[in-house]
Structure 1
Amino acid sequence: MSSDLPDTVIVTGAASGIGHAIARHLLAQGVTVAGIDIDADGLSETREALGDRFHPFAGDLCDPEIPERLVGAAWDAVGPVAGLVNAAGIYPVTPLFDMAVAEWDAVLNLNLRAPFLMVQALGRRMAAAGIGGAVVNIGSSASTLARPGIAHYGSSKAGFSQLTRNLAIELAPHGIRVNAVAPGLIGTDRVMEHAQGVGRAEHAAKVARIPLGREGRPEELVDLVAYLLSERASYVTGSILFVDGGLTLGIPSY
Structure 2
Amino acid sequence: MSTYVVTGAASGIGLVTTEILTGRGHRVLGVDLAGSDIDADLSTAAGRASMVEDVRERTDGRIDAIIACAGLSSPTVATVRVNYYGAIATLEGLRPLLAGSPAPRAVAVASMASLFPPDEELLSLLLDGTEDDAVARAAELAADERAGQIYGTSKRGLALWVRRQAATPEWAGAGIPLNAVAPGIIETPMVTDLIATDEAKAALLQTVPMPLNGIAKPEVVGNLIAWLTGEENTHLCGQVVFVDGGSDAVLRGASTW
TM-score by length of structure 1 reads: 0.79
Partner of 1:163: 161
Length, aligned pairs only: 220
Alignment of 1:117-128 (within 5 A): 117-127=89-99
Give 1:237 shift: 1.2
Picking from 94, 110, 127, the partner of 1:139 is: 110
User: Which consecutive unaligned segments of at least 5 residues does structure 1 have?
Assistant: 2-6, 44-55, 94-102
The alpha-carbon deviation at position 24 of structure 1 amounts to 0.7
Contact 1:9 1:84 in 2 (8 A): yes
Identify unmatched segments of 5+ residues in structure 2.
119-145, 253-257
- Quote the offset at 1:193 in angstroms: 4.8
* CA-atom RMSD in angstroms: 2.2
**SS of structure 1 residue aligned to 2:98:** helix
Whole-Å separation in 2 of the counterparts to 1:187 and 1:160 = 22
CA distance in 1, matches of 2:232, 2:248: 27
Distance in 2 (CA, whole Å) between partners of 1:152 and 1:121 is: 24
| 1:161-200 paired onto structure 2 within 5 Å | 161-170=159-168, 171-196=171-196
3-state SS, counterpart of residue 233 of structure 1: coil
Letter in 1 for 2:9: A
Normalising to structure 2: TM-score of the pair? 0.78
Match of 2:148 among 138, 147, 150: 150
Letter in 1 for 2:246: G
Alignment of 1:1-254 (within 5 A): 7-38=2-33, 40=34, 42-43=35-36, 56-79=37-60, 80-93=62-75, 103=76, 105-127=77-99, 129=100, 132-146=103-117, 149-170=147-168, 171-196=171-196, 201-208=199-206, 209-212=209-212, 214-250=214-250
Q: Which moved more, 1:76-85 or 1:144-153?
A: 144-153
Contact 2:73/2:190 (8 A) holds in 1: no
In the alignment, the residues of structure 2 paired with residue 115 and residue 189 of structure 1 have an alpha-carbon distance, to the nearest angstrom, of 20
Identity of aligned residues (%): 30
Q: Is the 8 A contact 2:107 2:179 kept in 1?
A: yes
| 1: CA distance, partners of 2:189 / 2:70 | 15
Cα 1:68/1:156, change in 2 over 3 Å: same
More displaced stretch, 239-248 vs 65-74: 65-74
Of 60-69 and 173-182, the range deviating more from structure 2? 60-69
Query: Distance between the aligned counterparts of 1:251 and 1:9, measured in 2?
Result: 34
Where 2:177 maps in the other structure, the secondary structure is strand
Give the Cα–Cα distance (whole angstroms) in 2 for the partners of residues 207 and 92 of structure 1: 19
Stretches of 4+ moved more than 3 A in 1?
129-132, 146-149
Counterparts of 1:194 and 1:151, CA distance in 2: 17
Shift of the alpha carbon at 1:130?
7.0
Q: 1:13–1:20: 8 Å Cα contact kept in structure 2?
A: yes
Residue by residue over 1:30-76, the C-alpha shift from the partner in whole angstroms, topping out at 9 and shown as x without a partner, is 111110001x2x32xxxxxxxxxxxx000100111222321221222
More displaced 10-residue stretch of structure 1: 65-74 or 9-18: 65-74
